[in-house]
């Protein structure tokens, strides 16, 4: 288990060294008093100019952001040297240009949040069933109506709320045709390979095996997740 803290508000002003020190010092003092000897935080999330999932524009495109790499580098360095953290965490990196990802390991980032990009790749993939997407969106109009701003276009509204459909429509999503799952899975795998290489997280299998060894039975098998009677040949692309 890795416990992290977060300073500032993602999407607001960029974090400062003073904010980081004030937060961690108060936290550590409280922890020492309430649970002496217990480990504390190992990382700290900061604001460097991004926002969760990016900012959707009326036409459905995402607003460009100006990332403050100098803040990321200086606060990562401070957190490691003064508090023994792994470094700073970068929120909202999903919508950044691909050419920027090589900067994160250089600047000492220890973690990057990318979930929105993978979600977008699934929903916006040409192979994703149109009928299923329309059904999901129609339901979101009802269940998430309170989340919609008066100025939101459909593109902005669905971009911000469709993450809430992933849990409720899990059966239908995992039950898509094998050819659809294969096509989406291959696109995701190509992106994973690019990101892991750019972030210098490739060739780490020995480290992973040492500190996070595989535990047989720790996740559902293809048969269990897809239902009785469906073997590995029916879930091509998912078992990888």
Q: Domain for residue 8, yes or no? A: yes
Q: Domain for residue 173, yes or no? A: no
Q: Domain for residue 127, yes or no? A: no
Whole-angstrom distance, CA of residue 11 vs CA of residue 130: 32
CATH value at residue 1: 3.20.20.70
Give residue for tokens 């003064």: 82
Whole-angstrom distance, CA of residue 24 vs CA of residue 88: 13
- Spatial CB neighbours of 204, under 8 Å, sequence gap ≥ 6: none
In this predicted structure, the answer to whether residue 86 has a pLDDT above a threshold of 90 is yes
Higher pLDDT, residue 237 or 194: 194
- Structure confidence by residue, pLDDT tens digits, 116-127: 889 999 999 999
In this predicted structure, the answer to whether residue 162 has a pLDDT above a threshold of 80 is yes
Q: Domain for residue 87, yes or no? A: yes
Q: Domain for residue 239, yes or no? A: no
> How many domains does one find in the chain?
1
pTM for this prediction = 0.71
Provide the domain limits for residue 8.
1-113
- Structure confidence by residue, pLDDT tens digits, 197-233: 999 988 888 998 998 898 888 876 655 444 444 433 3
Whole-angstrom distance, CA of residue 208 vs CA of residue 191: 20
Paired with 5 in beta bridges are: 44
Q: Domain for residue 201, yes or no? A: no
In a 13 Å sphere around the CA of 133, the CA atoms on its Cβ side amount to 14
Range scoring the smallest mean pLDDT among 18-32, 102-116, 177-191:
102-116
Q: How buried is residue 182: exposed, middle or buried, by Cβ count under 10 Å (0-12/13-18/19+)?
A: middle
């Amino acid at each position: 288990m890795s416990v992290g803290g977060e300073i500032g508000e993602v999407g607001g002003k960029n974090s400062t060294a003073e904010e980081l020190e004030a937060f961690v010092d108060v936290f550590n003092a409280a922890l020492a008093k309430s649970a002496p000897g217990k480990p504390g935080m190992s990382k700290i999330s900061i604001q460097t100019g991004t926002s969760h999932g990016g900012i959707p524009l009326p036409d459905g495109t995402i607003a460009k952001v100006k990332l403050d790499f100098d803040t990321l580098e200086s606060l990562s360095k401070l957190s490691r040297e003064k508090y023994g953290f792994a470094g700073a965490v970068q929120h909202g990196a999903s919508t950044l240009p691909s050419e920027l990802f090589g900067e994160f390991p250089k600047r000492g980032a220890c973690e990057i949040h990318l979930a929105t990009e993978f979600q977008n790749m699934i929903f916006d993939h040409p192979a994703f069933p149109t009928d299923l997407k329309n059904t999901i969106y129609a339901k979101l109009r009802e269940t998430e109506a309170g989340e919609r701003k008066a100025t939101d276009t459909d593109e902005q509204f669905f971009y911000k709320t469709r993450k809430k459909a992933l849990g409720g429509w899990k059966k239908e999503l995992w039950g898509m045709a094998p050819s659809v799952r294969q096509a989406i899975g291959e696109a995701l795998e190509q992106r994973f390979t690019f990101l892991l290489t750019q972030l210098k997280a490739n060739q780490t299998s020995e480290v992973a095996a040492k500190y996070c060894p595989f535990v047989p039975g720790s996740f559902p098998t293809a048969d269990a997740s897809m239902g009785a009677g469906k073997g590995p040949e029916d879930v091509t692309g998912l078992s990888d």
